[in-house]
């Protein structure tokens, strides 16, 4: 279980938010024994469980526990900038990423998706390392590390000082990184970062994403999925696309 960081944990920014929630959650055992069974009963949809640990052994143990649940995928968060132990150190070193992925795969029977950090020199190198370690897929990007300062107190607005920037402000960076990773590896990609519309989803898919995640946009409009789906269907009709997967990775560079 994680208590998360002290408040304030959210700060608004132009076209986005900074968060330092700190992965607050009741722990993997509670999720496996109580939360996931309820989700499976109530919803006829795939569930992706996101896990984050401080050691390789922690990650492997969580993967083993989650593998015995009804989750469809396990997403391994190696890149969260809000947790002071683990997180960022794992996701910024290619050798460590390969070792971590390899060890977790030994105890993971569900598809393992590695979530990549944008706070690196070369996201393609980290993607190749995850692929070499046996990852079944990749998701990107996680948040970019940022800060906001209260000019009256001259102190950071977030109690944790820094936080992860998400929202439309990061989308062009995310699209570029999805394209880079799509060109570097053979793995399927979950694209994310500032999705607010069906057009944003389509942009990520053209760049190479097989799946697209919605996050910060749901803070603004909790039911935005309806509009997103409608806009995608309208796009398919306009270009006579029978299967949306046809557009994945179809970017034509200038």
* Residues annotated catalytic, as ranges: 80
Longest dimension (CA), the chain: 56
Q: Which class for 160: exposed (0-12), middle (13-18), buried (19 or more C-beta within 10 A)?
A: buried
**Of 62, 72, 55, 69, whose CA–CA distance to 27 is shortest?**
62
- Judge whether 127 and 116 are in contact, CB under 8 Å: yes
Nearest by Cα to 217 from 198, 235, 234: 198
Whole-angstrom distance, CA of residue 119 vs CA of residue 142: 9
Tell me which residue of 116, 47, 106, 108 sits closest to 77, measured CA to CA.
116
DSSP 3-state assignment of 227?
Answer: helix
- Chain-centre distance for alpha carbon 11: 20
For helices 224-238 and 198-207, the axis angle rounded to 10 degrees is 60
* Two tokens, residue 114: 């590695």
Query: Reading across the β-sheet that carries 163-166, which strands appear in turn?
Result: 10-13, 16-19, 163-166, 144-146
């Amino acid at each position: 279980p994680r208590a998360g960081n002290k408040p304030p944990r959210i700060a608004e920014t132009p076209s986005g938010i900074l968060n330092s929630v700190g992965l607050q959650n009741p722990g993997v055992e509670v999720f496996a024994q109580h939360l996931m069974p309820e989700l499976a009963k109530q919803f006829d949809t795939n569930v992706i469980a996101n896990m984050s640990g401080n050691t390789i052994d922690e990650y492997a143990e969580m993967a083993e526990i989650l593998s015995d649940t009804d989750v469809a995928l396990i997403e391994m968060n190696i890149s969260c900038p809000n947790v002071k132990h683990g997180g960022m150190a794992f996701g910024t070193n290619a050798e460590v990423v390969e070792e971590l992925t390899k060890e977790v795969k030994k105890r993971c029977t569900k598809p393992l998706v590695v979530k990549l950090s944008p706070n690196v020199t070369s996201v393609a190198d980290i993607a190749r390392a995850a692929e070499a370690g046996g990852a079944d897929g990749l998701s990107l990007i996680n948040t970019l590390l940022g800060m906001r300062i209260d000019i009256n107190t001259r102190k950071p607005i977030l109690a944790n000082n820094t936080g992860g920037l998400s929202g439309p402000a990061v989308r062009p960076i995310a699209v570029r990184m999805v394209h880079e990773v799509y060109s570097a590896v053979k793995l399927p990609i979950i694209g994310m970062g500032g999705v607010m519309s069906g057009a944003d989803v389509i942009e990520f898919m053209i760049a190479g994403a097989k799946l697209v995640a919605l996050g910060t946009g749901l803070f603004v409009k909790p039911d935005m999925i309806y509009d997103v789906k409608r806009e995608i269907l309208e796009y398919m009709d306009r270009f006579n696309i029978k299967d949306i997967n046809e557009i994945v990775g179809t970017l034509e560079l200038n």
